[in-house]
Chains A and B, each alone.
Chain A
Amino acid sequence: GEDVEQSLFLSVREGDSSVINCTYTDSSSTYLYWYKQEPGAGLQLLTYIFSNMDMKQDQRLTVLLNKKDKHLSLRIADTQTGDSAIYFCAASGAGSYQLTFGKGTKLSVIP
C-alpha cells in the first residue's frame, strides 16, 4: 500500500520561510494534501494539489510537486508564531476513499 514519509521536526525563526518535505510511494496518487493540526484540535485542510500540477500558490503557502521523484513540499513564507503546529502530508489514490497520512512534522517558530 501507499507509504507517506515526513521529517518529524522543523524549527525556524519568525519571519523566515519554512519548508516541510514529504515523499510518497504510490505513483498513482491523484491528490496530495497538507493538513495543519494545532494543539488539542482536529486537522484543518490547508491546501491540496492535483497530480497533474507541479505548483500551487495560496497566499503565504506554496506547494511544489515533483511527480517523478514522488516528492511534495509545503513552503510557508514569512512564518509567524501562529504557524507553530503539526503539519501532515496525505495522499489519495484515484477513486479511493482512503487518505494515507504521514506521521506529521512539528513546526516550531522561534520569536
Chain B
Amino acid sequence: NAGVTQTPKFQVLKTGQSMTLQCAQDMNHNSMYWYRQDPGMGLRLIYYSASEGTTDKGEVPNGYNVSRLNKREFSLRLESAAPSQTSVYFCASSSDRGKNEQFFGPGTRLTVL
C-alpha cells in the first residue's frame, strides 16, 4: 500500500516548455487535489477532483490544466511554464468529503528557468 505517489520528484524546465506531473493513489479515494507550496505562502489549492470524471478550480488555477484519468490517477499539466510556477507541487487524496482527511504525496520540486 504505497498511499499517494508522485512523479517526477524533481524537474527543471525552461520558460515556455510544457510538462505533466503525475499522481496516483491506491486507497480507493474518491477525491484528489493538487496544491502548490511556496515559501511563506502555505499551501494553495490549484485544482481538485471530487470524483472520477469531474474537476474544479481551486484558488490558483491559472496556467494549469488537470485530468482525472480514472479513480486512481490525477495529472497536472503546465502548457507553457513560467518562472512564477517554480514551486513544490503536492497531490493529495481523500475518501470522505465530510471529514475530508487528506493524504499527501511526497511532492514534486519544479524549477522554471
Which of A's residues lie within 8 Å of B, judged by CB?
4, 8, 30-31, 33, 35, 41-45, 48, 88, 92, 95-99, 101-104
Contact = CB atoms under 8 A, between A and B. Distances in A.
CB-based closest 5 A-B pairs: A42-B104, A103-B42, A43-B104, A101-B43, A101-B42
Interface stretch (B61-69, B71-79, B92-100): B92-100
B48 interface: yes
B41 A103 contact: yes
B101 A102 contact: no
Contacts of A44: 104
B90 interface: yes
A34 to B, nearest CB: 12
A48 B103 CA distance: 13
Interface string B26-40: 000001010000001
A97 B31 contact: yes
A44 B104 CA distance: 7
Contacts of B50: 97
Contacts, number: 53
B103 A95 contact: no
B38 to A, nearest CB: 10
Is chain A's interface secondary structure helix, strand, loop, or mixed overall?
strand
Nearest to B91: A42
9 contacts: A42-B4, A43-B104, A48-B101, A96-B97, A97-B50, A97-B97, A99-B45, A101-B42, A102-B42
B8 interface: no
A48 B99 contact: yes
B92 to A, nearest CB: 8
A41 B99 contact: no
B99 A31 contact: yes
A98 B90 contact: no
B43 A92 contact: no
Interface in B76-93: 90, 92
Contact of A42 (B33, B48, B107): B107
B102 interface: yes
Contacts of A99: 45, 100, 102
